[in-house]
């Protein structure tokens, strides 16, 4: 796994305490990538949504290997490099 510290992520804290972080990561072919949050979630990460940024490989899929307050691990089991957008929510 290749660790990625994504300090350019977007992070928003809503009035009810919900935190939403988002970003884009490049995933090499058949590789799992760890995206480490610049600022961890203080308590828990509840949900992660991912999508590919591709118009030519629309049938490929991504897998969330793991999630924690510090990072998420996204697996690209496909034979080509792709970019992924992700959104993580927690508090």
Mean pLDDT of the chain: 86
**Across the strands, what pairs with 31?**
76
Half-sphere exposure of 39 (CA within 13 A, CB side): 13
Q: How far apart are CA 89 and CA 11, in angstroms?
A: 10
Q: How far apart are CA 50 and CA 31, in angstroms?
A: 16
CATH number 2.60.40.1190 given to 2-90: no
Note the pLDDT of residue 80. 87
Q: How far apart are CA 3 and CA 22, in angstroms?
A: 17
Q: Does the pTM exceed 0.85?
A: no
pLDDT band at 1 (very low <50, low <70, confident <90, very high): very low
């Amino acid at each position: 796994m290749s660790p990625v510290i994504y300090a350019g992520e977007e992070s928003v804290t809503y009035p009810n305490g919900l935190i939403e972080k988002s970003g884009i990561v490049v995933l090499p072919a058949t590789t799992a990538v760890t995206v480490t949050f610049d600022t961890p979630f203080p308590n828990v990460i509840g949900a992660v949504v991912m999508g590919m940024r591709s118009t030519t490989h629309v049938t490929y899929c991504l897998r969330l290997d793991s999630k924690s307050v510090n990072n998420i691990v996204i697996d690209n089991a496909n034979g080509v490099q792709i970019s992924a957008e992700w959104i993580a929510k927690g508090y």
